[in-house]
Structure 1
Amino acid sequence: MTIRKRLTLRFTSLVSSILLLAFVSIYAFCWYFISSDFYRRLDRKANTTGDMLIRHRLDAQLIQQLGRIRKDQLPNQKIIVFNGRDSIIFNTNETLIVTIPKSLLADIRQNKQKDFQKDGYYLSGTRFMTASGQYVVIASAENSYGDEFLRRLLWALTGLFILIAGMTAFSGWFFAGDALRPMQQIDQTVNDIFPQNRDERLVINKDDDEISRLSATINRLLDRVAESFQLQRMFVANVSHELKNPLTQISSQLEVSLLNQREPEAYRQTIRSVLDDVSELAALTHELLQLSQVNQENAVGMLTDTVRMDEIVWDIRDEVTAINSRYQIIIELGTLPDDPDQLAVQGNKTLLATALKNLTENACKFSDDGQALIHINFIPNRLIISIQNTGQPIPTADLPYIFEPFYRSRKTTDVRGYGVGLSLVERIIHLHQGQISVTSTLGKPTVFSIGLPR
């Protein structure tokens, strides 16, 4: 069922329920008022007849004559008086037969007064107590005008209910369609965006309503999707470039070696060159494998070590300085906690060491003097590691993409590497529920900051 149909159905059901409750209440009030008024009139007639016949002991014939000449006779009015032995001692309108069970007479004697309906007649019974015994006077009549009014009222209310319910359903269908029209436009626009018009965006109205906010959210999502496509194309292009160079070199060297007969030393030199290219491919494959293995699904089984970060930092200093004698690393420790266990984090020692080593080696590699500064600061429930260097800043246009796999700035094209290191670092830090950020401006050090929960 469509949203439009559901809204129409719910709106109609709500209005119909309220309307039905109101109409039933009106009908019940009218029925109660008309019935009560008619029973009150019957009760007056029963009491009047009882007073004249039983208490004032007027002649029955006189009472019947007085009743016939009165102008307030009710339709098919009949009055019956029973004595203590349930025998009829007075009866008007003898042509009309109304049967009164003895159990009903006993009930009237017990309750003093009773109003009820029988065979389409309204009856009101009253008990009279005298020295000679208990009498029961019952007045009955047809409430023709009241019943006709109630019938017409019922038909009027039923017709009005059907009319209003129909109008409500039509109005609900119309207004639901009008309210959902922007959604249909959004659906049409989004369908038209892919795959041809990826740069097209939804129109955002000036009204700050739910549709406008939804359109803005979808536009942001489309921006992220477009950015993902761009990064994907960039990733494929970079991987193709990284794989193409060594493969082309291998193919060229082997083809040249097969053109002419050469000395054994020339073949050995070609084989060594090919081995170097194969080693580059193996290193690239290893980095891609590392990148694919570090994901959130493996976090539970990987983050089982208690890692002292200060010890890792000292080990990394030794490893990085051993790579290049030009590299220098300075370590600064903030205020140390009293409890040595506060220097530890829960995680994977190998992965954390890999992340810090990549950042430290990059800091030394791109520093003007080959020097990097590692600063460790301890705050409640968090450990902050900052790695900074002095040198050319990272271009502002490149900052949003430096953590993407195989992304390399123009300034780093002549530096050996594959552009996988920072992407691997970011995944490792996020795997440990941490955050990584970078600040790089002209005239100030470039700083990579890592925050890890303790």
Structure 2
Amino acid sequence: HHPDFHTARFGGELYRFVLYPLPGPLGLGGAIVVGAPLRPVTALLPRIFQLSLWAGLASALLAGLLGWLLARSVVAPVEEIALTARQIGEHNLAVRMPAMAGNDELARLTASLNAMLDRLARSLELQRRFLSDASHEIRTPITILKGNLEVTLRRPRSAEAYRDCLLTLKEEVDHLERLAEQLLWLARADAAGLELAREAVALDGWVAQVAERHRPAVEAAGRRLELALASEATVELDPARMQQCLDNLLANARRFTPERGAVRVATRRLGPAVEIAVEDEGPGVPEAEREAVFHRFFRGDDARNRAHGGSGLGLAIAREIARAHGGDLWVETAASGGARFVVRLPA
């Protein structure tokens, strides 16, 4: 027995009724009927419709305003980033993206862009410095060549004088050739990296073989070559590349070791790594320059200048090779006070 709802018109006016049946004995029953006119309710409908309309318009305006403010808060930083990006050029890499507060996507994006610009600026600065240094290095032997030729051609000379001039010219041509080869090597390494042809090598025997190739030049210069090879290790390396690395270190040690001094080569095992050390008895490397000596075309004190025949690229190439093998190269002070260059490689 559920109540029933009905709408009916009486005397021209609508009423709403609820009828609730009442059961009785012998199937007889009755019902309770309650009704009320709908006029008060219908009178409110236009007002409710009007209020709903105004509320809808106000909500739409508020949503539009909030959407515009939200869009501006997102677009404004993007526009600022775009404006800053248009100011950045090859000759204006000092400009940076505005730092964003917080840790949202835009803040991380601007931080990443600024880090990229820092790397790009450093790369371009290194490239400019490299080109400037390379130009200087090439200009020096060319100037010497030209000067010797001009002086020699000013007047007739003896055969011995011509021979001396030609020997000087040959030295400068050899220097230019070495410099060109090293510049080409570095350019290829920078462009495509180093491709290594690794093979298992018994380190001590291989180092001895490489070092012995330098013995004639070392002894001809009045120095001694001493070997102390004790790693007893087998290492995966590219023999040709690592020989180039050791050749540079041995040539460097020979140049800076004084006459009657010793060039020492040693190996040892150190946990999961092996070390190859090349030591000279020269003036050593000041602590402040121990990282800089591996920079391309680095020129330190008078003890490490062009008078020793170096191009300023050999140590940079040696470190590139060591790091390509997953190792490293650094310099420290030897017991004799000279320089001790250490190559560490994974065993």
TM-score normalised to the size of structure 2? 0.70
Aligned partner of 2:264 in structure 1 is 372
Shift in alpha-carbon separation, 1:164–1:384, aligned structure 2, 3 A: farther
The Cα offsets for residues 322-345 of structure 1, whole Å up to 9 and x where unpaired, read as: 2121133332424x4xxxxx5121
Q: Which one of 344, 347, 353 corresponds to residue 235 of structure 2?
A: 344
Q: Does 1:167 align with 2:72?
A: no
The answer as to whether partners of 2:267 and 2:274 remain within 8 angstroms in 1 is no
Deviation at 1:358, TM superposition (A): 1.6
Q: Does 1:452 align with 2:342?
A: no
Shift in alpha-carbon separation, 1:422–1:187, aligned structure 2, 3 A: farther
Q: Which amino acid aligns with 1:405?
A: R
Shift in alpha-carbon separation, 1:279–1:451, aligned structure 2, 3 A: closer
Q: Which amino acid aligns with 2:264?
A: A
Aligned positions of 1:179-194 closer than 5 A:
180=77, 184=80, 188=84, 191=87
Q: Secondary structure at the match of 2:228?
A: strand
Q: Secondary structure at the match of 2:147?
A: helix
Aligned partner of 1:404 in structure 2 is 295
Q: Secondary structure at the match of 2:172?
A: helix
Aligned partner of 1:393 in structure 2 is 284
Q: Does 1:330 align with 2:238?
A: no
Shift in alpha-carbon separation, 1:395–1:225, aligned structure 2, 3 A: farther
Higher radius of gyration, 1 or 2: 1
The answer as to whether partners of 2:93 and 2:117 remain within 8 angstroms in 1 is no
Shift in alpha-carbon separation, 1:392–1:193, aligned structure 2, 3 A: farther
Aligned partner of 1:339 in structure 2 is none
Q: Which one of 46, 50, 56 corresponds to residue 28 of structure 2?
A: 56
Q: Structure 2, unaligned stretches of length 5 or more? A: 7-16
Aligned partner of 1:45 in structure 2 is 18
The answer as to whether partners of 2:281 and 2:337 remain within 8 angstroms in 1 is yes
The answer as to whether partners of 1:295 and 1:427 remain within 8 angstroms in 2 is no
Q: Provide the C-alpha distance between the structure 1 equivalents of 2:197 and 2:141, rounded to a whole number of angstroms.
A: 36
Q: Percent identity?
A: 21
Shift in alpha-carbon separation, 1:159–1:332, aligned structure 2, 3 A: same
The Cα offsets for residues 283-334 of structure 1, whole Å up to 9 and x where unpaired, read as: 222232333344583645x424333322221113212322121133332424
Q: Provide the C-alpha distance between the structure 2 equivalents of 1:159 and 1:196, rounded to a whole number of angstroms.
A: 51
Q: Which amino acid aligns with 1:309?
A: L
Q: Structure 1, unaligned stretches of length 5 or more? A: 1-38, 77-142, 337-341
Q: Does 1:359 align with 2:255?
A: no
Deviation at 1:167, TM superposition (A): 3.4
The answer as to whether partners of 1:312 and 1:353 remain within 8 angstroms in 2 is no
Shift in alpha-carbon separation, 1:40–1:166, aligned structure 2, 3 A: farther
Aligned partner of 1:91 in structure 2 is none
Q: Over the residues paired in the alignment, what is the CA RMSD in angstroms?
A: 4.6
Q: Provide the C-alpha distance between the structure 2 equivalents of 1:149 and 1:161, rounded to a whole number of angstroms.
A: 18
The answer as to whether partners of 2:230 and 2:267 remain within 8 angstroms in 1 is yes
Aligned positions of 1:52-451 closer than 5 A:
55-56=27-28, 72-73=35-36, 155=53, 158-173=56-71, 175-176=73-74, 180=77, 184=80, 188=84, 191=87, 195=91, 198=94, 227-262=122-157, 266-294=161-189, 297=192, 299-300=194-195, 302-325=196-219, 326-334=223-231, 336=232, 343-345=234-236, 347-367=237-257, 369-380=261-272, 382-411=273-302, 412-413=304-305, 414-440=307-333, 446-451=339-344
The Cα offsets for residues 373-416 of structure 1, whole Å up to 9 and x where unpaired, read as: 42321423x33333344543323443343222222223311311
Q: Provide the C-alpha distance between the structure 2 equivalents of 1:344 and 1:47, rounded to a whole number of angstroms.
A: 101
Shift in alpha-carbon separation, 1:374–1:250, aligned structure 2, 3 A: same
The answer as to whether partners of 2:283 and 2:337 remain within 8 angstroms in 1 is no
Q: Provide the C-alpha distance between the structure 2 equivalents of 1:283 and 1:385, rounded to a whole number of angstroms.
A: 25
